[in-house]
Amino acid sequence: MIHQLKSLEEFKKQFDKLNKKSKRIVYDKIQLIKQNSYRYKRLNTKYISKLFRVRLNIQSKETRLIYVIIEPNIILICFLDRKKDYKDWKKYLKKIKSEVN
């Protein structure tokens, strides 16, 4: 099945702040997600069942790209700093319903 790729406003803002090299890294990962959306590690949450993360090293920081699969869409949610240990991701999940619908 071919998924449509969408992104939240927060992801777009974060992506725009990246340098050219980092944008290329993210773009390549997104292409891999489009080929096989279930290839990366699933995050366990009681809110959403198909939530995934991609490990990235952007500008010498351990970063995670968080995305969710809501058929037939792949929604890019945000970048999370690994140092904060996923503390911010719940606030991004609440934004999914409002921006997707």
Instruction: Give the pLDDT confidence of 10-56 residue by residue, as tens digits.
Output: 899 999 999 999 999 999 999 999 999 999 999 887 777 888 999 99
Q: What is the mean pLDDT of residues 80-86?
A: 71
Calpha distance 26→58 (Å, rounded): 9
* Predicted pLDDT of residue 98: 59
Q: Where are the domains of the chain?
A: 4-95
Spatial separation of the C-alpha atoms in residues 67 and 90, rounded to whole Å:
13
Q: What percent of the chain has pLDDT over 90?
A: 41
How far is CA 41 from each of CA 20, 77, 101, rounded to the nearest angstrom? Answer: 26, 15, 26
- Domain 4-95: which CATH class? alpha beta
